Amino acid sequence: MVDALKNPPVRSSFCDDEDFLELIEMFVDGIEEKKTILRQASASEHVEELKVLAHQLKGASAGYGFEELSQIAAELEIACKAEDHSEIEQHKEIMLNHLDRIVV
């Protein structure tokens, strides 16, 4: 129960919009693939690939109502542009934790 309070599920701000629900489900269905890409790019230190993924998530997640994820992605993108590997690692972990909590 404590974990649920510390790490509550993350839902789209559009989750109550039945017309938008199918699009949100498609976005959520793609999260596992994005997490895999994020881990692989980070492990191989492909900063440019991480930057591109962060940029894509920044725009897409806001469009699907995941504003906090958009902000996290923006911070990862900034760290990638600065090539600050400790910041990249920190923001990658924050993003992975956040992605794990996303539900429809």
Give the model confidence (pLDDT) of 76-98 as tens digits.
Answer: 999 999 999 999 999 999 999 99
Q: Counting Cβ atoms within 10 Å, is residue 95 exposed (0-12), middle (13-18) or buried (19+)?
A: buried
pLDDT score at 3? 52
Task: Count the helix, strand and coil residues of the chain and give each as a percent rounded to the nearest 5.
Answer: 75, 0, 25
Residue 34 counted as domain residue: yes
Residue 48 in domain: yes
The whole model's pTM is what?
0.89
Question: Is there a domain that residue 10 lies in?
Answer: no
Residue 87, in any domain of the structure: yes
Question: How do residues 14-52 score in pLDDT, each as one tens digit?
Answer: 999 999 999 999 999 999 999 999 998 887 788 999 999
Domain count, the chain: 1
Range of lowest pLDDT (45-49, 57-61, 68-72, 99-103): 45-49
Q: The domain spanning residue 55 has which CATH number? A: 1.20.120.160
What does the pLDDT average to over 58-79? Answer: 96
31 within a domain of the structure (yes/no): yes
Domain that holds residue 56: 25-101
Say if 15 falls within a structural domain.
no
Is the pLDDT assigned to residue 2 strictly greater than 70? Answer: no
Q: Quick check: is 13 in a domain?
A: no
CB contact set of 55 (below 8 Å; sequence gap of 6+): 73, 77
